[in-house]
Structure 1
């Protein structure tokens, strides 16, 4: 397996490269990102700085590297950015993703694309892959459009939807729910946490494993990848506080409406994981266990 990885500086991109030693069938990886390499697991001969919107340069890189698989993690995932810059969101999340899918189809390269629970409106969660999509924000709409166009132009693609990804990598500039809550509470800072949105948070290590499995098995179609425990974001943060023995009195519940998220975020998502468990041998790590492993990882990164 020769993997071309877009978004190699990103959270999932860095984690995937960190775990390469666990993925025995991969013999080459080339990471590409618009900015300079920040991935500690990639080096001069395994990274190329590239603006993915330069389609001609992208096709040259693909022709030269000759990947067997493309893992496309690059995206604009910030909901507010997608609302404020719809043209950019369209170009990155839809046009680019579909362009790569078409190249992969032409060159017989397996394609894995990352999507989101935000394709759903949150009124009927948890969801299975065949449930009707209906996004409440432009980010979700761009992912719906990309999914449909990718499925049409490259039916052999694997589309992995995921939820509220958290975890640890050496890059301290990349934060997420678990590390943000831990850091704020350790510093004695009061935090406001939404109490009326429900999710099944996804450990980034599990998501990286699912990506490898989808590629290694040449999987096609849509797969739901997340944890298997439904919890409010408030409940998740309380477990995080308990794990690190932090002061829960600093956690202040707040409603989605109070921070302007009543209509532009789904209320309750969550996934039914049967398809991923059966087809990809996906086994989500229990939330508490993942937090304990994150503690071990943070010690290793800081040593």
Structure 2
């Protein structure tokens, strides 16, 4: 199978490639905006691609004619999406539309990576059947992308996830775990929200779930998240414990103490029973994944 991956330079994209690089049975065309930021070895081919450029997308598709796509490229910074709505729409919605148009030429399987932020956070955690109602522009853009995929006429799947974190050995990529470790190691006091709830997702687990969807050609919506419902404050406490860092530097605060351009849903989180049953998805507990990341970082 020939598979196109967008967002290959991102945390999820790099974990997907790390997951499959040792299995040369499939061809991978990894794409990202700008130069390759990982070790581009066979069977992975890297191509720079701006998904907002319709003709560039079409030309690349015609060159490789992939059997499947994992569409992980997106503008994900929630406040930036709120402040730069036109750019957010271009990337998250129009970019998805361009890829769908190209994929129709080969009737390719289309997997879109989406988000818990399509929900309003009033009644989480959520199942795949719960009704979306985004409270910020990022969530709205991803919901619109989902609707395009559903209406595409292609064999499709949507993988929703939550607050992705992780580490690629030797390839530093910022996320909540790295940021908290860095701040505490430098002796900085940090304020962490204690009234918002999420099911944080290890990038390695998400990559495995995405691979199971594509390899099985499993159609429909799947929630791929971690098994633990935590506040960012509770996450920071566990991170401090695993890294043996001073937890007293972590201050619990109300989300209203932050003035942010984009509203955050208070309680999202995703119920993952469907993925467990149909995909045999087995995500790691948050603390378990932290110990693995800690070990990886100590080896680099």
Both structures adopt the same fold (TM-score exceeding 0.5): yes
| Structure 2: runs of 5+ lacking an equivalent | none
Computed over aligned residues only, the root mean square deviation of the Cα atoms, in angstroms, reads 1.9
Distance 1:25 1:266, change over 3 A: farther
Cα deviation digits, residues 77-124 of structure 1 (max 9, x gap):
011111111111111101111221232233121111110000001000
Size of the aligned set, in residue pairs, is 300
Q: 2:231 — aligned with what?
A: 232
* 1:282 counterpart = 2:281: yes
CA contact (8 A) 1:102 1:154 kept: no
CA contact (8 A) 1:198 1:267 kept: yes
Helix, strand or coil at the partner of 2:110: strand
CA contact (8 A) 2:110 2:154 kept: no
Q: 1:298 — aligned with what?
A: 297
Alpha-carbon distance in 1 for matches of 2:61, 2:158: 20
Alpha-carbon distance in 2 for matches of 1:281, 1:27: 21
Q: 2:122 — aligned with what?
A: 123
Q: 1:46 — aligned with what?
A: 45
Which shifted more, 262-271 or 194-203? 262-271
Alpha-carbon distance in 2 for matches of 1:128, 1:137: 20
User: Matches of residues 14-93 of structure 1 in structure 2 within 5 Å?
Assistant: 14-21=14-21, 24=23, 26-42=25-41, 46-93=45-92
Helix, strand or coil at the partner of 2:269: coil
CA contact (8 A) 2:3 2:69 kept: yes
1:163 shift after superposition: 0.2
CA contact (8 A) 2:61 2:103 kept: no
Please identify runs of 4+ aligned residues in structure 1 that moved more than 4 A.
Answer: 41-45
1:66 shift after superposition: 2.1
Tell me the TM-score normalized by structure 2.
Answer: 0.94
CA contact (8 A) 2:24 2:43 kept: no
Helix, strand or coil at the partner of 1:199: coil
CA contact (8 A) 1:194 1:254 kept: yes
Cα deviation digits, residues 212-241 of structure 1 (max 9, x gap):
001001111111110111111100110010
CA contact (8 A) 2:26 2:43 kept: no
Which shifted more, 53-62 or 24-33? 24-33
| Structure 1: runs of 5+ lacking an equivalent | none
Q: 2:173 — aligned with what?
A: 174
1:262 shift after superposition: 10
CA contact (8 A) 2:111 2:157 kept: yes
Which shifted more, 197-206 or 77-86? 77-86
CA contact (8 A) 1:4 1:70 kept: yes
1:21 shift after superposition: 4.0
CA contact (8 A) 1:2 1:26 kept: no
Alpha-carbon distance in 2 for matches of 1:45, 1:243: 34
Q: 2:205 — aligned with what?
A: 206
